[in-house]
Structure 1
Amino acid sequence: MTKLKSIVIAVGMATGITASAQEKVKNPYGLVYRDAIEENIKGKVNIHSVTYKLNGINIAANVYTPAGYDPAKKYPAVVIAHPNGGIKEQTAGLYAQRLAEAGYITIAADAAYQGASGGEPRHTDKPASRIEDIRGMADFITRYSGVDANRLGVLGICGGGGYTLKAAQSDKRFKAVATLSMFNSGEVRRNGFQNSQLKTIQERLKQASDARAEEVASGKIIYAGVANITDEEIAKIPTDLYREGYVYYYRTYAHPNSTFLYTMSSLLDLMTWDAATEMDLINQPLLMMAGSKADTKYMTDEAFPKAINAKSKELFVIDGATHIQTYWKPEYVNKAVAKLIGFFGENLK
């Protein structure tokens, strides 16, 4: 087999990530979020690094158990799907820890082909794979000691939110479905953010097709996304999502396993997919949360009304929050967590 090579197309940006951002990861579990667990103490919330196979690929995950965890007892559990470009050590881990503090067994895993999980080519980002990642977390956690498989919830953040909607449409092991700052990856890759690239859809599909052909012909993997960026370039970005996102991922909450890259050929799948279709298949209770100032809120607003068969549904607006601020800012995280605790508490009895 031809050894895969990779070349990067950094869309719009081309300079180096500061080394200091990567050197900030000092937590023994690699966690970069605020107030993260630094050691497992008996009687308190603990973190457990686990690996498991999913379709032949090694998946790296963290399981969080609540204070006083007793494997002989039964606990509700929540699967948490991370954002695009994110990993389990960032906001997915933060929400996993906070829900564990509320009495849930939680799991946050790196998507296949991403983070510490296996899979080649690296940074493949196809909807079918991301949806399967969520099902795989359910497979693992429902067999974890102490988990009541009949009380399983799911939370998807950003791109993980879009994939969570799709997973819940068919996988009825999930008894309650929540999203935070949902990002419809297919719509954005197809139409551009805020429908800014409608005129170049065919051109970009051609680029994706050419990238696929190049993979077959030479083994080279062409990447889209932003590999590197300077502070000056960040400051000039007009949209909150990307400006604050680059600060979050490449500066304040940077982790060497986290990147904005994805294979150009992934667009063949992404651009023909949409998180907001078949929403009528969701018959579980549904909670969708978004910041009032999030420039991505339109995606939640598009999907939410289509869930006409949800057992119950609520659109919870976090006043004052932007998309990225729901990942880390304490006042907004606290509001989201409080809402999640109430939602899962009611629906995972």
Structure 2
Amino acid sequence: MKRNALHATLLAIAIGLGVGKAQAADYRENPYTLAYEGAITGNVAGEVNIHPVSYTLNGLRIAANVYTPPNYAPGSKYPAVVVAHPNGGVKEQVAGLYAQRLAAEGYITITADAAYQGASGGQPRNVDKPAFRIEDILGMADYITRYPGVDTTRLGLLGICGGGGYSLSAAQTDKRFRAVATISMFNSGRVRRNGYVDSQLQTIQQRLQQASAARAQEAAGGQVLYSGDANLTDEQIASLPFDLYRQGYEYYWKTHAHPGSTFKYTTSSLLDLMRWDATDQIELIDQPLLMIAGSKADSRYMTEDAFAKATGTKDKELFTLEGATHIETYWVPRHVDAAVAKLTTFYGRTL
């Protein structure tokens, strides 16, 4: 309750101040708690519809939303796209926006909260381990390929931010995915290990010692420790050194806040995160690959690095959204429109 109240307070402040240039998307005013502009407020015949669903994955209940295209007919056959959300995000934010927009183009789409996160099950909360996040993606594929009307031979994958890095790993071995795309890909392992823009190389061993101690404390029945959680003032946010962090706080804590979303993750997760990398074995991807990034994104270096290393596919493209920062690819209409147009062309050709 305390966390929900905090989110509501931050959102109310954002609406009053008009943080940045983003128009606030109030999850409290949407029956599905969707936190993006143009979100569905009710299912209407002949239009894109949303279907909240749940399923069990490795003993945990997973909460997901399935979007069906206009005039959806279960007896027909449709291509489908799995959409993986960013780190700390939930299905009601940017992942839902892209899932809804792709559904409008004729795809059945699914986006789910990661296990231990959002409305999905799992204790302790906010565990963020690569193996779990990759399994979440495979679980969405398991579910959607059994959904009425889905053509299992035409399954695509879209990963956004951290979900993009995990999607690269998932697609290396799961060849049910016939085409793979990322938007503003974030290599969680590289950043947790090296720091953002490789700015913490000198403290790797120190942080590994902290993560080891956190796991030992958990194993002994002690308090679960968390990293990444911060309650910053507007002044502190403005002084952050990177656009991704400044705009990320505005997006997740203010303009597009959702009570299921959080920056925090268990400190012990770093034991897994820091030894993983989204580009490990990336040459196993032989499917068509589209990687989208903003020209002004300070995270772009991760997309460029992964793209260069993806030597296993001859059908690959790095598409630039001119003038976009990382977070602006989540909500700015002209950038979202351009990304959706590119994705529609890509999936239309490859699925």
**TM-score normalised according to structure 2 size:** 0.93
Aligned match for 1:91, one of 89, 94, 106: 94
Q: What whole-Å deviation, never above 9, does each CA across 1:43-76 have from its counterpart, x for those lacking one?
A: 1100000000000000000000000000000000
Classify 1:17/1:101 alpha carbon distance in 2 versus 1 (closer, same or farther; 3 Å): closer
How well do the aligned residues superpose, as a CA RMSD in angstroms?
A: 1.1
| Superposition pairs of residues 1-349 of structure 1, within 5 angstroms | 19-21=9-11, 24-25=26-27, 26-348=29-351
> Could you list the runs of 5+ residues in structure 2 that have no partner in the other structure?
1-5, 14-25
Q: Which 10-residue stretch deviates more, 80-89 or 219-228?
A: 219-228
Task: Give me the whole-angstrom Cα distance separating, in 1, the residues matched to 2:53 and 2:314.
Answer: 34
Which amino acid is 1:99 matched to? L
Structure 1 segments of 4+ aligned residues over 4 angstroms from their partners: none
The Cα of 1:241 is off from its aligned counterpart by: 0.3
**Alpha-carbon distance, 1:177 to partner:** 0.2
CA offsets, 1:124-163, max 9 Å, x none? 0000000000000000000000000100000000000000
User: What one-letter code is carried by the residue in structure 2 that aligns with 1:98?
Assistant: R
CA displacement 1:282-337 (0-9 Å, x = unmatched): 00000001000000000011110111121400000111000000000001001100
**How many matched pairs?**
333
Kept after mapping to 2: 8 A contact 1:47/1:62? yes
Q: Does structure 1 conserve the Cα–Cα contact (< 8 Å) formed by 2:172 and 2:282?
A: yes
Change (3 A) 1:18 1:29: closer
Go from structure 1 to structure 2 and tell me whether the alpha carbon gap of 1:76 and 1:189 turns closer, same or farther (over 3 Å shift): same
CA distance in 2, matches of 1:38, 1:193: 37
Taking the aligned partners of 1:28 and 1:18, their CA distance within structure 2 comes to 16
Contact 2:7-2:257 at 8 Å conserved across structures:
no
SS of structure 2 residue aligned to 1:226: coil
Q: How far has the Cα of 1:22 moved from its partner?
A: 6.9
> How far apart, in 2, do the equivalents of 1:286 and 1:204 lie?
34
Deviation at 1:226?
2.3
Shift of 1:227: 3.6
Structure 1 residue 18, shift from structure 2 partner = 6.4
Q: In the alignment, residue 167 of structure 2 is paired with which amino acid?
A: T
Q: Separation in 2 of the partners of 1:326 and 1:336? A: 8
Is the CA contact 2:291–2:318 (under 8 Å) kept in the aligned structure 1? yes
Please give the alpha-carbon distance, in whole angstroms, between the structure 2 residues aligned to 1:164 and 1:20.
31
Q: Distance in 2 between matches of 1:84 and 1:270?
A: 12
Partner AA of 1:212 in structure 2: R
Secondary structure, counterpart of 2:51 in structure 1: strand
| Partner Cα separation in structure 2 for residue 341 and residue 93 of structure 1 | 16
Taking the aligned partners of 1:22 and 1:147, their CA distance within structure 2 comes to: 40
Q: 2:206 and 2:12 mapped to 1: Cα distance?
A: 35
- Structure 1, unpaired ranges of 5+: 1-15
> Matches of 2:332 and 2:199 in 1, distance apart?
28
* Partner SS, residue 217 of structure 2: helix
CA distance in 1, matches of 2:343, 2:220: 48
What's the offset of the Cα at 1:231?
Answer: 1.4
2-structure distance, mates of 1:302, 1:72: 43
What secondary structure does 1:96 align onto? helix
- Aligned partner letter, 1:21: L
For residues 198 and 213 of structure 1, the distance between their equivalents in structure 2, rounded to whole angstroms, comes to 24
